[in-house]
Structure 1
Amino acid sequence: MKKAQQYFQAVLKELGQDSLTLNLLGDDAVTKSITEFLQSQLASHLDGLKVEVTNIPKQSRITHMQSGDYDFGLHRLGSRFPRCDSFLNLFTTESGGMLSMMN
């Protein structure tokens, strides 16, 4: 964590700020406990970082992510079939998976 703190302090210096506030976007039901855990861990290990959590319904979260209206977010990956190619296809623009959502 010392290295992470050093990098974070370098970022603050480059930005000319002594603190930074970021918004973490997650689902209201599924990822709520995870986003709260991440918020507490990041705040306790990176001096000067404040993480504001926004947990909203999945469809609203997806809309925010597609429009780029967030700093960082938590998204679950899943597959309809228990085959490795089902998971690998999530990262192609043709599959309608994660990459298509970001384009």
Structure 2
Amino acid sequence: MAWNPIEAEALLNESEHLQPTRLVKKIAGFVFPSGRELVLSRENDSEVTLYVDAAPGHMPDVQIKKVYEPTDRRMGRHADIESVARSLGYSYKAIRVHVKSRTGLELLLHWLRYA
């Protein structure tokens, strides 16, 4: 099976450094013990997309797709993002990344723990 959001969600659920927070139809939220949140988009069958508050610029398997600056306009991000991860909502900066592999996600999770 090719790398996809189902596999990514399984890895996130199995991680000893994350706790699931809230799941809605198209996105799933997770939180680190530090309080840092991330959101997995579940709506695309073939591309693993995460929303995070920080992202490395030098990981080959983690590609920054879009940076969302804080705004009072409720558009441009996933509509349910605030209900799943408040710190990635419209009032905060959020970064949408494409994770190309399992190894890429493992490295990103390690980076997020210490960034």
**Is the shorter-chain TM-score for this pair beyond 0.5, marking a shared fold?**
no
More helix by share: 1
TM-score, normalised relative to structure 2: 0.24
Rg larger in structure: 1
TM-score, normalised relative to structure 1: 0.25
